[in-house]
């Protein structure tokens, strides 16, 4: 799997059960509330800043989901996906990305068809058994609790990109009194 990690340029994620724990809290007004991991969000932003592509293909369609994803800087967002494969193919066509450069993280049956086509298929520890059976890697982390950070960190470390640029002390940001 190490060679495959070296070739990754793109991460594609499901939302519910991957970026969230899959539970919904429904408010009295009918709003669906989800909880996201800040550490997963940080890893996505770091990957984007290093030039990786990040895409979302999800059945979720709440405005709050799109707001969170756009807030992280994700540009390729496919919401309301009852059938995900055509959206995956659309992404490949629009970005000229090859499946052998993609990590896909999903947790349930709607993700399986795409997972069988990419270089590395990942699921959280609490993914359904059929998805675990078709995965290259089962993260020790549950959905919404670090699975996204786990795989991004692995890819970036293997590629020597798991670091944060720090401003130079001579750039004027720090001034002595």
Report pLDDT digits (tens) over 80-109: 999 999 999 999 999 999 999 999 999 999
* Range 2-158 has CATH code 3.40.50.1000: yes
Element holding 45 (H helix, E strand) = helix 38-49
Our CA angle for 50, 150, 117, nearest 5°, is 80
Give residue 165's pLDDT band: very low, low, confident or very high (50, 70, 90). confident
Taking each helix axis from N to C end, the angle separating 147-158 and 38-49, rounded to the nearest 10 degrees, works out to 30
Rounded mean pLDDT of 163-176? 60
pLDDT at 2: 79
The structural domains of the chain, with segments of one domain joined by +, span 2-158
Give residue 148's pLDDT band: very low, low, confident or very high (50, 70, 90). very high
Give residue 176's pLDDT band: very low, low, confident or very high (50, 70, 90). very low
Our CA angle for 46, 135, 37, nearest 5°, is 35
Q: Please indicate, yes or no, whether the overall pTM of this predicted structure exceeds 0.75.
A: yes
Rounded mean pLDDT of 120-144? 98
> DSSP E strands: which ranges in the chain?
10-13, 25-26, 32-33, 53-57, 76-78, 102-105, 120-123, 137-138
DSSP string, 148-172: HHHHHHHHHHHTT--------TTSS
Reduced to 3 states, what is the DSSP secondary structure of residue 38?
helix
Give the Cβ contact number of residue 8 at 10 Å: 23
């Amino acid at each position: 799997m190490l060679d495959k990690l070296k070739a990754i340029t793109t991460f594609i994620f499901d939302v519910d059960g991957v970026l969230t724990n899959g539970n919904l809290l429904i408010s009295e007004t009918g709003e669906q509330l989800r909880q996201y991991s800040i550490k997963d969000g940080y890893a996505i932003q770091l990957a984007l800043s290093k030039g990786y592509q990040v895409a979302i293909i999800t059945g979720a369609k709440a405005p709050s989901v799109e707001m969170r994803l756009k807030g992280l800087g994700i540009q390729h967002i496919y919401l309301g996906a009852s059938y995900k494969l055509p959206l995956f193919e659309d992404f490949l066509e629009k970005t000229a990305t090859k499946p052998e450069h993609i990590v896909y993280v999903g947790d349930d049956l709607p993700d399986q068809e795409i997972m069988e086509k990419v270089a590395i298929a990942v699921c959280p520890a609490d993914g359904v058994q059929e998805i675990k059976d078709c995965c290259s890697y089962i993260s020790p982390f549950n959905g919404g609790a670090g699975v996204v950070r786990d795989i991004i960190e692995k890819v970036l470390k293997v590629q020597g990109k798991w670091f944060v640029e720090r401003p130079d002390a001579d750039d004027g940001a720090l001034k002595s009194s």
